[in-house]
Chain A
Amino acid sequence: MRIFLKKLGFFLCITLAAIFSLAPFLLFVSSAFKTQTQVTAIPPQWLPAGSLEFFHSAIARHGILQYLMNSTIVAGTATLVTISLGTLTGYALARLPRRLAQMILMGILACAMFPQIAIAGPIWRFLRFMGWLNTYQGLILPYAALTLPLAVWILSLFFREMPEELESAARVDGCTRLGALMRVILPLSAPGVFTAAILSFIYAWNEFFLALLIMTDPLKQTMPVGIALFQGEHTIPWGEIAAASFITTAPLVLMVLLFQRRIVTGLSAGAIKG
């Protein structure tokens, strides 16, 4: 009986968690399958009519797939840059003397604290100077800079957990310092890298204001700007926006469902302390 209650309690908790995350999204996305008059019906209607006109419109008229591709390229590359630089930095900060490391870490963290609106203008001017407006690198590099503080922080915490003996052992075996880093430390840092990667990716994926200022070429615009473009003069196409939301989350969700085994094993492998 006790076990049954425990299981029931747990099941309720899971349902709550799922409802919290899913319900608003489903309520919104159901509009993607409605007809135009159904979307803003007063009072609202639960069940959509099953129309796919909004999907067609979002893809054909608004070019959502192009925005999706651009966002993936920009966010993906920015994440790669952040992870590469972040791991090196996190590792260095974990090994340097405490005082020095803390000071540098606070300095890096301070960079994450300035309001984005204010630095958008200067960044824009620098990118124009380099001729990088309306290019992928014009967004990738600022995004990397904006996500580095958190990534470095997380990774440095992570690397501090790793005993120095690991590198020493490798050095004794004849590795250079760099080699020790590459061959011994990095493979073990998977969980920290994964966390930092996801956080960076999501930040770059969501970012709006910088993308708005820098990308005006329709071929290069990212998703947040792209969906802001759905809005016409005095019209908000809820149906298309809902369809676009569906299109952009479905692949990510599928990926997680398919790869979650791998993610889990990757995580727990790192949890075992050498």
Chain B
Amino acid sequence: MTRKDQSFFLTLLVPVILVLLLFIAAPIGQSIFLSFHRIIIGLPQLKTPFVGLDNYQQLLTDPVARHSFWITIIFVATTTFFELLIGLFLALMIHHHFPGRGALRACVLIPWAIPTVVAAQMWRFLLNDAYGMVNYAVFGSETSHYIPWLAQPATALVAIIIADIWKTSSFAALLILAGLQVIPEEIYQAAKVDGAVVWRRFWHITWPLIRPALLVALLFRTIDAFRVFDIAFVMTQGGPADATNVLQLYGYKKMFVEGWMGYGSTLSVCIFIMVLGLAIIYVRMVGRRLLEASV
């Protein structure tokens, strides 16, 4: 690579770096700065003193934060697993040629096309304990058996997980589909000629070749799942009894409702560090494949 080539490529990077610096990196810097101060916006008389690592210490001993952390971990693990599974299933379906394929594509598009906050309202309606359609579908008219999904800590968490899986499986499906599309048809033809069965073809051809796409989906889904907010905010507001008080919702309550800007920023920085750590582990564990898309 010549010097000229390098500088050409580096110039191409400038606009993006600029945009990201302005809108993301600078705000992140501000947040990190704030996380070292005690700031209560409703009590400006207390000023905003620098408190070093006090906020971080407080966070480590905060029982609500610890509870939120575990709730979030459960959420991330279950949603990512099922979304990748269902996404793979959907992607395989859409990838095949069959009459009505377009209609199926359109169906899969629907969970995407509804804004997350609307989908959350929708699930809140469907899971209602008195007139929810989900209860009706399962129990018919026997309202005494209806499950109050959002009123019990365990089922409330399940409810937001279901809502998220429904909404975001298509995201995983699309990423995996992109991976499927680059596999040349000829390989399958050759395998068919050799007499390989569907399962064989999947396991020996498809699976290894879509691993990179699956890993990209895994990485990005994990990053997003850790920062879940809209669904919990709309469906349960964190309840009942903090059962769905995911980390970013707790951070929102601290920052925007109670006014603890410093502490809320500390929480955000911790979420960031956790996600960053996970991403680095993914990349290391899975090897350079994620960054190289091997064939």
Direct touching of A and B (C-beta under 8 Å): yes
Binding site for B on A (CB under 8 A): 6, 10, 13-14, 17-18, 20-22, 24-25, 27-28, 31, 39-44, 46, 85-86, 88-89, 91-93, 95-98, 101-102, 104-106, 108-119, 121-123, 126, 141-142, 144-146, 148-150, 152-154, 157-158, 160-161, 177-178, 191-192, 195, 198-199, 202, 205-206, 208-209, 223-224, 227-228, 236, 238, 241-242, 244-245, 248-249, 252-253, 256-257, 260-261, 267-268, 270-273
* C-alpha spacing A191/B156, complex, angstroms: 39
Contacting residue for A14 out of B27, B93, B216, B293, CB 8 A: B93
**Contact between A89 and B12 (Cβ–Cβ < 8 Å)?**
yes
Between A and B, 17 residue pairs with Cβ closer than 8 Å are A13-B89, A17-B104, A21-B90, A31-B125, A95-B1, A95-B5, A114-B24, A114-B271, A117-B229, A117-B264, A122-B31, A157-B216, A191-B178, A206-B115, A206-B116, A270-B181, A271-B182
* Given A44-B136, A85-B19, residue A24 in contact with residue B123 (CB < 8 A): yes
A-B interface contact total, Cβ < 8 Å: 288
Say yes or no for B28: interface residue by CB 8 A criterion: yes
- Interface assignment of B6: CB less than 8 Å from any CB of chain A: yes
A-B pairs, 8 with minimum CB distance: A118-B268, A122-B27, A119-B27, A145-B23, A92-B12, A92-B9, A224-B115, A111-B24
The answer to whether B43 has its CB under 8 Å from any CB of chain A is no
Hey, what's the 0/1 contact readout for B110-144 against A, CB within 8 Å counting as 1?
Answer: 11111111100111011000111111110011010
- In the complex, chain B residues whose CB is within 8 Å of the CB of A199: 171, 174-175
* Chain A proximity of B131: nearest CB distance (Å): 5
Chain A's nearest CB lies how many Å from the CB of B111? 6
Residues in B whose Cβ lies below 8 Å from that of A40: 130-131
* B295 nearest CB neighbor, chain A only: A161
Instruction: Flag if A241 contacts B121 (CB, 8 Å).
Output: yes
Chain B contact residue count (CB 8 A cutoff):
105
Q: How far is the CA of A244 from the CA of B25 in the complex (A)?
A: 36
Interchain nearest-CB distance for A125 vs B (Å)? 9
Give complex CA distance A114, B26 in Å. 12
Distance between B250 CB and nearest chain A CB, rounded to angstroms: 10
Please report the C-alpha to C-alpha distance between residue A6 and residue B130 in the assembled complex, in whole angstroms.
42
CB distance from A107 to the nearest CB of B (A): 9
A161→B109 CA distance, assembly (Å):
28
Q: Is the interface of B mostly helix, strand, loop or mixed?
A: helix
Q: Given A245-B122, A249-B114 in contact, is the A123-B20 Cβ separation under 8 Å?
A: no
Chain A's closest residue to B270 (CB) is: A115
**Chain A positions within 8 Å of B269 at CB level:** 118
CB of B194 within 8 A of chain A?
A: no
Return chain B residues, CB-CB under 8 Å to A157: 212, 216, 291-293
Contact check, A192 vs B25: say whether CB atoms are below 8 A apart. Answer: no
Q: Which of A20, A31, A92, A112 contacts B13 (CB 8 A)?
A: A92
